[in-house]
Structure 1
């Protein structure tokens, strides 16, 4: 659960009084699932839930129409605190360590996925792994999904991302800092055209190695995306940001929603960027029960670049 505390002026090392305190079912996977439901998608949520907070999240699944296939655990589901400075428009996130997952609990979740995932499904693997879960867990789930005719998209970091990419998921979505775990030669920031081209080159290397689509988000500066046939630069319209927490997860949900409806890659990226902007413009991460994104989509620009795989030996269309 995410508890958002809005403060007029956040002062470290001092007593701060919240103007508004809002509890909300949170975590990266839940934000993705909620946004998918807001956009009319059928979605099933897997994960680990325990204790009173876990029951709260199960109730939220029922309220939103999310199919709940969480694994019940002995530990307590964590509560994270988001401190929002109203004046600065910036957020400070404090993540609890969370429960440790037993081998039996981990195997239960794996069996649930193996039993229910079907051809044509999109499996979204989002966030860090809880304590007790092997670092190669996402890699195993990606392989299992592929064997069943499903596609997996990964939003992770560090060794978990490295392991996942090694088995060639359908897609990877990460921010620039996370991307550098799989592409150490990528620039630390993208403020020049040379840095942008360097990042494109690094993304092409990952695609050449077997990932069909790589998306790197750049915060307020938009995102870059590279597939086997396209290289796109997307800039979303600016909004007055109240809390950017969850915007990357909301982008991922909207992108998957549009792409699963047979939209072009370009439109799916625009739709995702628009949803991320809408999420950043509100205090508590959400795009609302009846999201109106048309204006934001219309204000989202796309620049096409040459795929340029001449040196990689990659040719052909997306699988």
Structure 2
């Protein structure tokens, strides 16, 4: 697939209200109470929507990354994205953008990831973020809101975002969890991407068996203003649900190196594909290919286009063979 970030003046915008800088290093043997010699640190921009923008960039597409930034870490984050050639728009906050830390032990090959809490965001700051979205959003645009909220931002923030997207005639793609997700589904959403645990919460059950998955997902989408829901099943693939149809897209067996950013890459693939006019089935097939390709790369590097294209071709070929008449 050949992607572009604009089509007839339409664009893709990603929103991240709790972004981060990922700091990665390695040591030879992780031991307590010891001064460990670490290798040179590598830094990557991160956070739900930012990962989506990075993956879109890897696929040859373009998007604008809108995010809250504060302090030296926030400036570092903006520089990382700018250096990567990803267009950005920032809303400044008084708090400091978080920095996560990952260490890989080269003896055991085990990785340890430390996730720091996000900053407190003042009311004027999160409202300024909504105003910024409203100012740049146009009819037909894709608005991708991905990631958890941070302290200070109300649970209905994504619901307010959904109202703005609907008023602007834009398509909201949402990937979040917890109370923010439960509030957001009261609004109109173009594409919702929960995993099994999140769908369980949405349906008010503690566990979903595979025999219950399809009827519960169908019942959910029939009761909410959601055009498409794609339930991420990890290595097992994904379930595509709309008011009219339901389809299972199987996973692909690969040698996994890391699952960091796989869900965000899946969202990126679906948005890019849908933006270019793909069918809903093709959209999810490409998304599964992107998520799978990301697991083939170590750390936080996200998907490579050549890996994605090979996996996508295999998924489509398998679909044709599966549906042959006997």
Which TM-score band (shorter chain)? Answer: 0.7 to 0.9
1:270 CA displacement: 1.3
CA distance in 2, matches of 1:173, 1:276: 13
Q: Which residue of 1 aligns with 2:202?
A: 182
Q: 1:220 aligns with which of 231, 235, 250?
A: 235
SS at match of 1:152: strand
Q: 1:211 aligns with which of 203, 216, 226?
A: 226
- Say whether the 8 Å CA contact 2:236–2:252 is kept in structure 1: no
CA distance in 1, matches of 2:244, 2:112: 39
Q: Check if 1:197 corresponds to 2:182.
A: no
SS at match of 1:79: strand
Q: Which residue of 1 aligns with 2:323?
A: none
1:247 CA displacement: 0.4
- Say whether the 8 Å CA contact 2:49–2:146 is kept in structure 1: yes
SS at match of 1:70: strand
- Say whether the 8 Å CA contact 2:240–2:281 is kept in structure 1: no
- Say whether the 8 Å CA contact 2:92–2:125 is kept in structure 1: yes
CA distance in 2, matches of 1:213, 1:86: 43
Shift of the 289–235 alpha-carbon distance from structure 1 to 2, 3 Å rule, reads closer
Shift of the 13–98 alpha-carbon distance from structure 1 to 2, 3 Å rule, reads farther
Q: How does 1:132-151 map to 2 (within 5 A)?
A: 132-151=152-171
Give ranges in structure 1 of 5+ residues lacking alignment.
189-194, 305-319
CA distance in 2, matches of 1:249, 1:206: 23
Shift of the 280–200 alpha-carbon distance from structure 1 to 2, 3 Å rule, reads same
1:94 CA displacement: 2.3
Q: Deviations over 1:266-307 (max 9, x none)?
A: 111111111111111111323467544221112326999xxx
CA distance in 1, matches of 2:289, 2:295: 10
SS at match of 1:170: strand
Q: 1:96 aligns with which of 109, 116, 129?
A: 116
RMSD of aligned Cα (Å): 2.6
TM-score, normalised via structure 1 length: 0.84
Shift of the 103–220 alpha-carbon distance from structure 1 to 2, 3 Å rule, reads same
Task: Select between 1-10 and 255-264 the one with higher mean Cα deviation.
Answer: 1-10
Shift of the 17–125 alpha-carbon distance from structure 1 to 2, 3 Å rule, reads same
- Say whether the 8 Å CA contact 2:22–2:100 is kept in structure 1: yes
Give ranges in structure 2 of 5+ residues lacking alignment.
1-20, 320-326
- Say whether the 8 Å CA contact 1:186–1:202 is kept in structure 2: no
- Say whether the 8 Å CA contact 1:7–1:85 is kept in structure 2: yes
SS at match of 2:203: coil
Q: Which residue of 1 aligns with 2:18?
A: none
Q: Deviations over 1:214-265 (max 9, x none)?
A: 1111211111111122211112322211111110001100111011100111
Q: 1:66 aligns with which of 83, 86, 89?
A: 86
Q: Which residue of 2 aligns with 1:127?
A: 147
CA distance in 2, matches of 1:15, 1:138: 44
SS at match of 2:138: coil
Q: Deviations over 1:34-80 (max 9, x none)?
A: 11122233311122111111111111222233221110111111011
TM-score, normalised via structure 2 length: 0.83
